[in-house]
Each structure stands twice: as structure tokens, then as C-alpha cells.
Structure 1
Amino acid sequence: MDAVIAFYCDVLGMNILRSWGDGVEAGAMLDTGNGVIELFANAEPGRRPGQVDHIALATDKVDECMAACAKEGLKVIMAPQDIVVPCETPYPLHIAFVEGKAGEIIEFFDEK
């Protein structure tokens, strides 16, 4: 839990909004700037309920975020690249994916 909080706060620049408990009962809420990530020490690793596949964080520094993640030794799932999501109005993005410290998949994206 401490390593996950340190990654999000020290590497990605988020702030702790609130935290509670100790050991397996610990939890925290981190400010993403436009939302909140909730962390729970007693969450089941690999749990995949529902349709949510990953978290996506908007940033104008995709490449810098990935460099910071690589420096932390995190597994790169997709190196930074430009794509166009083929929705109603084409949606151009600069994106990258990494596996976080808790096994979560993190997307960094920048709207182009």
C-alpha cells in the first residue's frame, strides 16, 4: 500500500485527500486533479468485476509520465503512440499504457 501511494503521489504528483486504517484495513483517496482514485490494502489482486478494464489519466505529458514509470521499473504495456478512436466524431489521442504497482493498468492520454 505504501509503495502504491508513493508511486501515485511522488512519481505522478497526486495528493492524498484522506486516508484511514492500518495494515490490511488501510485505505486512501488520492486526488487525480479531476477525480479520485480509491486504494484499499485488502483488495483482491487480479479482481476483474464488471466491464472496467483500466484507469485513464488525462495529461499533456504522456511521454514524461511513461519515462517516470520506466524509471520506477514498471512494465510498459504500450509505448506512447498516436491513435484515432473511431467513434461518432474521430477522437485523436496520444496514449500509452503501463502496469501500476498494484497490478492496475494505467493509461496516460492527451487529446490532440
Structure 2
Amino acid sequence: ITTGCPDQLATVIGWGTAEDSYVPLILQELQVLIQPRKVCEAVWIEQITDTMICAGGVVGEDTCNGDSGGPLICNGYQVGIVSWGSRKCAIEMPAVFTDVANVEIRDFIRNKTGV
């Protein structure tokens, strides 16, 4: 598995709040660009580890409160799990996802789920 599908579009799915803190009644999806590690590290100085990837960063389009735990899908494979981002949603900062291709994360998932 290539870690995070760098520089490719991916789909994030969730129930997070939208504009004006509106909670959607229908599951939402959004196309986001997987950001290169250098971009992620430049935005989130000293907060990014090898177990993380970043995506998005377009004003008005972002994960938000309530999306945590949702999937980030690239080329039909889940490559990430929504983790955290800016306190203000939909600003020009990429969101941070757990990188499920990371060996440490894969081992954790296997140990906890038996899959």
C-alpha cells in the first residue's frame, strides 16, 4: 500500500457539522486532495508524525466536528481515518488523518479487531 495516495483526490465521508454548525440529516461526502507530507508539516509545525497524513485545505470544504473516525478513501481503498484539524472548519488548512498504511497503525488495528 502506498502511504496516503499523495497528490491524488480522495473521498472523505462523515456526519460532521456543515455551515453555521448545521448537523446534516444525510451522510456527507467530500472530495479532498491528499497533501504532500512537506505541506502538512509546514502547516502543522511539529505536530505531524509518521502515523498521519493530511488532505484538503480548500476554503469552504473541509472535515468538521463530528467527522472524526470517518474514512478517507483513495482508489477504492481506505487510506485514512479522520482525526483532527483546525478549530475553525473550512479554512485554508488541511485536515489530519490517521494513516492506515502505517505499519504501527495496521498492527494496532489487527490487534484490536483480529482482522
TM-score after normalising by structure 2: 0.26
TM-score after normalising by structure 1: 0.27
Greater relative contact order, per chain length (Cα 8 Å cut-off, separation 6+): 2
- Higher strand proportion: 1
Q: Which has the larger radius of gyration?
A: 1
